[in-house]
Amino acid sequence: MIAKSIPSLFTIGNLFLGIIAIIMVFNGDTPMAVMMIIIAMLLDGVDGRIARALNAQSEFGKELDSLADVVSFGAAPAFIMYVVAFQDMYSPAAWIITALFPICGALRLARFNVITSNAGYFIGLPIPAAGSVLATLSLFSDSIPLGILVLATVVLALLMVSTVRYPNFKRVGISKTALWLVPIVIIVSLVLGIMFTDHLSKIIFIPLLLYALYGFKKTFDRRHVRKKKRASSIEQDEDAPPEFLA
């Protein structure tokens, strides 16, 4: 019975860190708030794998995970960006842009929960990735124009509800014999995060951004291949003898 509850404890930890991130950014500690989002992403990445390793998957855990993600990767990153960049904007515009992000995140999670597919990809940018990109992007707010930050927030929000495909790494599981390593990895990550908060968060921004852009590249490649196939098919039809075109 206790083993069945372990995955939910990691999910609750994810939710807890999301709430702490909101508190920290309003208290003026943006780098630590961002680090809380990153650690929450780590917890979100292992709760499902632990559930599968312990054969403890449940509808309750699935719904709890989505609710935690809305807070940790939807509301918290949006609040972080609002506090560091959007407060000086015209208020209604700032409110709408800030609200758009978690709303799209909630829509993304709702769609994910009702679509049952074994495909090796996600449809739309996963909310943990989108939220982590937005949170880490806030650390560069002093050197990035406000218009770019607004555009990035809107684009990330729309990517979550788009049909762009992203790689799904959730199939990479954790064996029962390796479960004891999970708490150690999380503790080490937390210690390193506290020690090197600002620099580590900025470094993590790079692979997160590349993942967000990866979907654009693959979508462009697929469309390019389809166009070539259609063009090739048209050329073959034009070159075919008349009897084959009848």
| HEC readout, the chain | CHHHHHHHHHHHHHHHHHHHHHHHHHCCCHHHHHHHHHHHHHHHHHHHHHHHHCCCCCHHHHHHHHHHHHHHHHHHHHHHHHHHHHCCCCHHHHHHHHHHHHHHHHHHHHHHHHCCCCCCEEECCCHHHHHHHHHHHHHHCCCCCHHHHHHHHHHHHHHHCCCCEEECCCCCCCCHHHCCHHHHHHHHHHHHHHHCHHHHHHHHHHHHHHHHHHHHHHHHHHHHHHHHHHHHHHHHHHHCCHHHHC
Question: At residue 51, does pLDDT exceed 70?
Answer: yes
Mean pLDDT of 137-162: 94
Q: What sign does the dihedral 123-139-199-27 (CA atoms) show? A: negative
Q: Are 161 and 107 in contact (CB under 8 A)?
A: yes
pLDDT range class, residue 3, cuts 50, 70, 90: low
Q: What's the distance, CA 119 to chain centroid? A: 18
Residue 210 within any structural domain of the chain:
yes
Residue 228 within any structural domain of the chain:
no
Residue 235 within any structural domain of the chain:
no
CATH number (domain holding residue 30):
1.20.120.1760
pLDDT range class, residue 246, cuts 50, 70, 90: very low
Residue 204 within any structural domain of the chain:
yes
% of the chain residues with pLDDT over 70: 78
Q: Are 25 and 14 in contact (CB under 8 A)?
A: no
**pLDDT in the model for residue 176:** 60
Give me the number of domains the chain comprises.
Answer: 1
Mean pLDDT of 164-186: 70
**pLDDT in the model for residue 245:** 42
Q: Are 137 and 149 in contact (CB under 8 A)?
A: yes
Structure tokens at 224: 């390019």
Dist. CA 59–CA 209, nearest whole Å: 31
Question: At residue 90, does pLDDT exceed 90?
Answer: no
Dist. CA 220–CA 245, nearest whole Å: 32
Q: Which one of 3-12, 49-58, 77-86, 167-176 scores highest in mean pLDDT?
A: 77-86
Tell me the whole-structure pTM to 2 decimals: 0.81
Q: Are 165 and 125 in contact (CB under 8 A)?
A: no
In the chain, the largest separation of any two C-alpha atoms, in whole Å, equals 78
Dist. CA 49–CA 205, nearest whole Å: 24
Q: Are 105 and 74 in contact (CB under 8 A)?
A: yes
Please give the residue that has the higher pLDDT: either 160 or 113: 160
> What domain range includes position 181?
2-217
Residue 155 within any structural domain of the chain:
yes
Mean pLDDT of 89-107: 94
pLDDT range class, residue 147, cuts 50, 70, 90: very high
Dist. CA 211–CA 227, nearest whole Å: 25
Question: At residue 73, does pLDDT exceed 90?
Answer: yes
Residue 223 within any structural domain of the chain:
no
Residue 68 within any structural domain of the chain:
yes
Range scoring the smallest mean pLDDT among 7-11, 36-40, 99-103, 130-134: 7-11
Residue 70 within any structural domain of the chain:
yes
**pLDDT in the model for residue 139:** 92
Structure tokens at 26: 């309003």
Condensed to tens digits (0 to 9), the pLDDT of residues 180-237 reads 577 777 777 777 777 777 677 778 888 888 888 877 666 666 665 666 666 566 555 5
Range scoring the smallest mean pLDDT among 76-85, 138-147, 194-203: 194-203
